[in-house]
Each structure stands twice: as structure tokens, then as C-alpha cells.
Amino acid sequence: MKSMAWCLTAAACAAGAVLSGCSQKSETIKLPGDVPLEMVWVPEGSFFMGSPDTEQDRAATEGARHAAIVGGFWMGRYELTKRQWTAVMGTTPWAGNANVLDDPDSPAVLVSWNNMKDFITALNGLTGKAFQLPSEAQWEYACRAGTTTRCYWGDDAGYTEINDYAWWNGNAVPAGELYAHVVGQKRPNAFGLYDMNGNVWEFCEDDWHTSYTGAPTDGSAWVNSPRSTNRVARGGAWSTDGYACRSAARAFGAPNGLSVIVGFRVVRL
């Protein structure tokens, strides 16, 4: 089984699909300094979570594939950016570090899962709303956007279409662009979400489990008591390879870990 713990050569998932032209329900939350946080409505529905045994390049941690029902929710159109982080927290944890793009509209990196929870607490205090990290089920449902193929733009068996949808090891690294890129430059999926795969791994609320045996089927986060050692992350990064450029690919990281290939996006009901 391929390992997908944090590293600059970890496995990846890429992102995007062309919008069908239907209208997308969205809202914009204004953060301090009039910084926008754009949210997209993800409608309720059901889907099969994980990958079938026959899927090309699957890992054992993606099974057993199972049906899940997910209620509607709002999700950040983009990965949380440096500009948005600083507007809420007043800090720049990534400053002066290598492999970090000096652009406020690139993802906030070198922030831990614990730091992300602190951000959300502050965000909720500022807005009076109830933001949170997505559950793993919410994340995969939003990523797939109604598709059942390996990637939400298709099966892409030879990874020949991925460059249109994601920053990954096949385009960022050869160009010498060893950092997370400005959000929203690639094609979105059918829900209007950008960079769901590639660019940075995105932490979820869930504790890491090595299979879906016993996983909830109602879209909620799978949280142990007491909490486990690691948290789930999804989506791949600019450094990751094609074998994980699939909607079902999974990874994990420690809640206090810091990385230039890890970020997040927020959701709320």
C-alpha cells in the first residue's frame, strides 16, 4: 500500500471539472479589512464513498466503498488564503519560509490542524456563524460533485488531463514552482469549487482510520473519544504524484504538524 503521510513526494489528487452552466448558489462573507470569504452551496444528496476494489491506483485505505447521505452545506469556494488568515488572526506563520509563495491569495500553509481550529473559533466569533472543518464525507461528496469516475473530470488513466484541473507534481515541480499556487487558476468542478485536488492537502475534522469499517453513513465526522493520533486530509498537493489524483485518495497528519503542502477550507451548515 502506498504511504500518504506528509512529505514533499506524498501521493496526490488533482481537481476540477467544467461548470455545466447552471447557476451556482453562493454567498460572500466579509472578514476584517473587507476581505471576502466566498462560499458555495453544496446541495444535499447521497453517494458512494471510497473506491471500488477494481479502481486503478487505489489504496486499501479507500475501502470498503459504502453509501453515505450528506445534508446540504456551504463550503469555501477556494482553499483558505493567506489574506483571509491574516484578516482573522493577524499573523503570518508562513513568512520567511522556503517553498512558500509570497502572494496573499495563495493558500495559508504552515498552520497546523490545531491552528485551523483556533482560526475557526476566531472566525465564528467575528461573524456569529458556525464554521467548521469539513467532515471527510462532506469533503469527498463535494469533490466528486456527482461523478463516480476516478477523478471528477474523468478516469484520466494516463494522467493526460490533470494539468487543466490541478497543481501537482507533473506541472508545478518541472516548472520549478515548488509552492502552493494562487487559488482558483485551474478549472472548477460541477459545484463551482476550485483546487479541491492538488495545490495543498486539506485537513478534515475526522480522526484517521485505516479503513471505512464502522464509518458513519450520515455525512458526519468520524471522531474517536479520546481523539486519535492523526487527522484525515484529502485532495493532494503541488508536490504529489498522479497515482493519488483521484477523488477517493486519502492522507493523514498529526494535529500539531506543520507543512508547506497542507492547508484547509471551511464549511458551515
d(CA 74, CA 239): 28
- Of 13 and 107, the structure prediction assigns the larger pLDDT to 107
Residue 242: the pLDDT is 74
- Residues 154-209 have pLDDT tens digits of 999 999 999 999 999 999 999 999 999 999 999 999 999 999 999 999 999 999 99
- Residues 86-105 have pLDDT tens digits of 999 999 999 999 999 999 99
Identify the CA nearest to 51 among candidates 198, 138, 168, 149. 149
Q: What percent of the chain has pLDDT over 70?
A: 91
- Whole-prediction pTM value? 0.92
CA distances from 16 to 13, 61, 78, 102, 115 (A): 10, 23, 12, 24, 27
- Residues 20-62 have pLDDT tens digits of 334 689 999 999 999 999 999 999 999 999 999 999 999 999 9
- Among the CATH numbers 3.40.50.1100, 1.20.1250.20, 3.90.1580.10, 3.40.50.880, which is that of 26-268? 3.90.1580.10
Domain ranges, ordered by start, for the chain: 26-268
Residue 24: the pLDDT is 81
d(CA 149, CA 145): 11
